[in-house]
Amino acid sequence: MDIAFHIGAHCTDDDRLLKTLLRNRDDLKSHGIAVPGPSMYRSVLREVATKLRGDEASQETQDVVLETILEGDDPDRLILINQSFLCMPQVAVEGGQLYPKAAKAAWLRNLFPDHRAAFFLGLRNPATFVPALFAETGGDTLDFPAFLGGTDPRALRWSEMIARLRQAVPDAPLTVWCNEDTPFLWEKLVRAIAAAPATVPIHGEYDMLRTIMSQEGMSRLRAYLRAHPPRDEEMRQRIVAAFLDKFALDDEVEQEMDLPGWNSDLVEDLTEIYDEDLFAIARMPGVHVLTP
């Protein structure tokens, strides 16, 4: 069996990917792809992984866990999603690192050593990721320096986190994408994590776009695409970008970041560092970058 672990990051798709996959669960199931509800596995995996603490699960333990999750089904692919698989948001930035506990990916991998595994991770510009992560913890603005714990945001690199993750699970390929691109590659992302053939219809291809575009804009976009079917994916992306430029929900696209020390100069520096980091990630072995 192939097992796909979608491990976050926090503050990226916020379980919207899970919801889209669940909408398509019946069609995917008919092609041997299982999308169980999170209540079927999140607590179970946490309990078993904590008990094993990175040791490989026995065949008996694997069978029990899979029976609990799948309830007798025997799919070719199993999709497991939890943005807190590696850690809670409160400790996702520590000691100058993003996800210092990235090596715990091995705990997940070793739950199913007799099966093939792959990991999926959405990235986000630290300029917006760190403030969003802090908001996720429910902290007061005055707590922000303590949340950073002395970390210089300019030192944060996704490539460094990915290198530690790959070292922990060298036999499991990793697929990454930029959260900033997610509305434009949603269907591609759904198909990638599901490993769904092109012949399988995917419902909800605009689920992510709908969160940042007005209802009027979505209605006009759908009508336009029906009347003027794009000749290829590149043209469709240009059409979507044009409608988004006109109908984007400002509150969703533009974030107010009133945090100590988080000024425009820092945001500019972090964005430049992020762009350079993405170039480095694209050249890392065992890592596949999804792009629109």
Say which CATH number the domain at 181 has: 3.40.50
Say which residues have a Cβ less than 8 Å from residue 32's Cβ, sequence separation at least 6.
75, 76, 77
Q: What is the pLDDT of residue 83?
A: 96
Prediction pTM value: 0.93
239: in domain: no
241: in domain: no
| Contact in structure between 278 and 180 (CB atoms under 8 Å) | no
- DSSP letters of 216-237? HHHHHHHHHHHHS--SSHHHHH
256: in domain: yes
C-alpha span between 69 and 109 (Å, rounded): 16
92: in domain: yes
Tell me, what amino acid is at 274? Y
Domain that holds residue 76: 2-212+249-290
Secondary structure (3-state) at 64:
helix
CA dist 160 to 102, 126, 184, 219, Å?
Answer: 10, 13, 26, 42
Q: What is the pLDDT of residue 197?
A: 86
C-alpha span between 251 and 218 (Å, rounded): 17
108: in domain: yes
In eight-state DSSP terms, residue 54 is T
Split into its structural domains, the chain has a count of 1
207: in domain: yes
Q: What is the mean pLDDT of each run of 10 residues along the chain (292 residues)?
A: 98 94 96 97 97 97 97 95 96 95 98 98 97 90 88 96 98 97 93 92 89 90 89 86 87 68 94 98 97 90
54: in domain: yes
Q: What is the pLDDT of residue 208?
A: 87
175: in domain: yes
